[in-house]
Chains A and B, each alone.
Chain A
């Protein structure tokens, strides 16, 4: 069957869609994670904590689907990436899963019993459920940029030669903390829009400013690592962008500094890091001016910019191998088949707009700040 889109184009589209899913996740579930990480620090009394929790109470569940869909979409469109990264980062994945399982349970179960110890335990569960995934995702991205120690044999079976502690290097920690700062800033911005004005807002503003400032610094330090560290890979030899998905047929070498190559070739890509920096600055100005929508817009632009920076810097690499560059996974050698990419694109084109439409409707119904009055009179709230 002749498909209306060629293989290389579909691979490019799916690479971009993976970015859309990651950004969708960071922009929606990102503030849920940020709010979770902020919870014990911005809210002291039970009433304050209920206020904070209910700013995300009705929507976190839908937001989390971005993460799950991200997993499913990578499985469907980039089976190599799914297979190699999840088994390689095995114990880190387990940590994320445990934290992300804790979170829904904490949201739902906290309000079911009145005693203070019960509630405090779930508050810390929410903190862990926000902070740990934020940190580990960033560390994982750092490892993707550094290259992961895996090797493919001639049956394309992957073996991984690293450990959990090996994931934490100075550079990957910078990435992990950047991710935490980015999401904490985003969470603080969300509280600005959704929580009642008062002490919660004031504390969130202070922490948001610190996170924004640290985030800017870490993003810059990350840039220095990319420019002067030993990061980067390059494809050598002939490139078949429509060839069969077999990583072993590409030749790759480690090339320090190569993550900057794309910016020389396509200067428009500089927009991504620019968005990352200016978004965070706008968010911080918004916090100062107490202009909440401006803060949220700024933190969103910043997250979008930072995530795009990673993707664009590495293009066409998705997951390079540090011990066997030959095994590296790229946009051109790690996708599913032409047919599957096409079918999945059709499904996405049909359903993603529907998802966005009803998500928007739900947000509209739930629009407006949480209020103390609602917390006291509406028995359905957490």
Chain B
């Protein structure tokens, strides 16, 4: 039997390392394109202040980028280390986007990021801008391929189980790439990254303005952030990935869970604005509903119902029963690969094999499961409803706040009233908000996927490696300490860079060389 402690610790480690990795990635995604915008203005106007602006935000980008890359190494290898059976079971499909990401995207960003930092005096301004653009393109393509991989876990299209190799194999790679869930996720996720970067640029600029420092620099940065942030915050909310929620049973379950909607809601469904969902009673107390809205969001119509948790559990129960038949056929095929009857039987129910495997949590051989175990397994398909309900509300709430923040910023910048005190304070205070929304978004997507590693195909608890509890504690504690120290160092360095300000480079070249006679600092006053 599977050691469930190992499964839980592996999940904990994955969540910790992924959430940590995802502290840095959004800023990279957004700031890289903001650098492209700032540098484009420099190349078009040739005013030195825009070069200073680009280089300053480039410094912040660099400190952040390096941790995104470093912690990404863990992600690339962790599937094999901690999710070895998962890697075997779906590697034929899931490995491809990861490899393509390396080849098409990561090589691009990593090769050009060096030149972006070191090539200022070696390249013509237009060429350097192109290098910056390729870095930004690389980071965003990276996100695309990772989300194609993740989208497949949420909606595993284009693949079938092969009983000869005991794994999923690709049938239609086009379907994997153009998976609608992946496309929706990509747009939503990179937009969130753009908002994150815009909030940082806005907040830091606001801080300078409050302090009365670097005004020319800060006002220009703020204007770029306001425009970029307004567009991105609209995009992140409007193109939220709810559009994919009607596609599969698990996606439907996710929607029902985040709405804490126990019973099927007749069309057009209302959106629960507030309530206290209770797992024990399987009901939501003190509900406050806004009519029509959920039906519109989830089905894009006013005449389709939105299916509730209880009905979806009944569907799961049916599928588990068919899954047991699939499991039985597979066992006979394993014993004799030439058994035609078993193969034929397997073909008809192969899509429910994963549901049969859910029973392995309770019984070694799913064929021996009792009706109550089947019912238990069916209820396992319901993710943690209160967690889903609240994380969604906090995430979406912050999304709307961001639109308000950037709409205000845009208005003030247009009116040339950059130095509106109350707003500057708001902008500084808002800096942590996008991270909260982004991390909650990850939780929503991945907790909502449970109990599946791959929806309907492989339960999470079967995906883990055959490791021991002490091994996992060593790596969890190791990663936590190590990552903790790196986070402190990184935040310290970013704060230091902000404190030194955008003109630090012009004052001293290298602090160690200060005062050494043969190295007079090159004075390059770069204020427009």
Binding site for B on A (CB under 8 A): 46, 57-62, 64-65, 67-69, 71-73, 75-77, 79-80, 82-87, 90-91, 93-94, 97-98, 100-105, 107-109, 111-114, 154-160, 244-246, 336-337, 339-340, 343-344, 347-348, 351-352, 355, 358-359, 362, 365-366, 376-381
Contact = CB atoms under 8 A, between A and B. Distances in A.
B95 A105 contact: no
Interface in B105-131: 106-108, 110-115, 117-123
A339 B159 CA distance: 11
Contacts of B80: 71, 75, 82-83, 85-87, 93
Nearest to B466: A159
Interface string B77-108: 10111101101100111111011111110111
B338 interface: no
B111 A157 contact: no
Nearest to A339: B170
Given A61-B110, A352-B103, A87 B466 contact: yes
Contact of A340 (B87, B92, B111, B466): B92
A103 B71 CA distance: 11
The 8 nearest A-B residue pairs measured at CB:
A79-B91, A86-B80, A76-B95, A62-B111, A75-B95, A69-B102, A87-B84, A114-B511
Contacts of A381: 118
Given A101-B482, A108-B62, A112-B63, A157 B85 contact: yes
A97 B21 CA distance: 14
B81 A156 contact: no
Nearest to A375: B510
A297 B496 CA distance: 43
B66 A104 contact: yes
A250 to B, nearest CB: 13
Contact of B111 (A65, A72, A91, A379): A65
A72 B98 contact: yes
11 contacts: A59-B111, A77-B99, A83-B91, A93-B77, A105-B67, A109-B489, A245-B165, A337-B165, A339-B170, A344-B96, A365-B122
B114 A57 contact: yes
A344 B176 CA distance: 14
B122 A344 contact: no
Query: Which among B93, B115, B510 has the greatest number of chain A C-beta atoms within 10 A?
Result: B510
A79 B95 contact: yes
A3 to B, nearest CB: 12
A68 B465 CA distance: 21
Nearest to A365: B122
Interface string B160-184: 0010111101110100000000000
Contact of A337 (B66, B70, B170): B170
Contacts of A86: 77, 79-81, 84, 87
B247 interface: no
A336 B69 CA distance: 27
B111 A87 contact: no
Contacts of B45: none
Contacts of B62: 108
A61 B114 contact: yes
A87 to B, nearest CB: 4
Nearest to B163: A244
Contacts of B497: 112
Contact of B77 (A71, A111, A348, A352): A71
Interface residues of B, number: 82
Contacts of B79: 75, 82, 86
A239 B71 CA distance: 42
Contact of A61 (B84, B113, B122): B113
A348 B103 contact: yes
Nearest to B81: A86
Given A85-B80, A112-B63, A75 B118 contact: no
Contact of A80 (B70, B82, B88): B88
A90 B88 contact: no
A86 to B, nearest CB: 3
B512 interface: yes
A84 B110 CA distance: 29
Interface of B: 62-63, 66-67, 69-74, 76-77, 79-82, 84-85, 87-88, 91-96, 98-104, 106-108, 110-115, 117-123, 162, 164-167, 169-171, 173, 334, 465-467, 471, 474-475, 478, 482, 486, 489-490, 493, 496-497, 505, 509-513, 518-519, 522
Contacts, number: 261
B107 A62 contact: yes
Given A76-B91, A83-B88, A108 B102 contact: no
B169 A365 contact: no
A79 B66 contact: no
Contacts of B474: 91, 94
Contacts of B112: 62, 358, 362
Contacts of B71: 101
A131 to B, nearest CB: 17
B510 to A, nearest CB: 7
Contacts of B162: 244, 337
B74 A362 contact: no
Given A365-B122, A379-B510, 13 more contacts: A61-B113, A69-B102, A75-B79, A82-B79, A84-B84, A86-B79, A94-B81, A104-B66, A114-B511, A157-B88, A336-B169, A351-B100, A377-B519
B477 to A, nearest CB: 11
A366 B67 contact: no
Contacts of B96: 76, 340, 343-344
A376 to B, nearest CB: 5
A75 B121 CA distance: 40
A355 B99 CA distance: 14
Given A94-B475, A366-B122, A65 B110 contact: yes
Nearest to A160: B466
Contacts of A355: 103, 107-108, 111
A95 B510 CA distance: 33
Nearest to A80: B88
A46 B513 CA distance: 10
B87 A246 contact: no
Contacts of A105: 66-67, 70, 486, 489
A344 B99 contact: yes
Contact of A87 (B66, B465, B505, B519): B465
B70 A72 contact: no
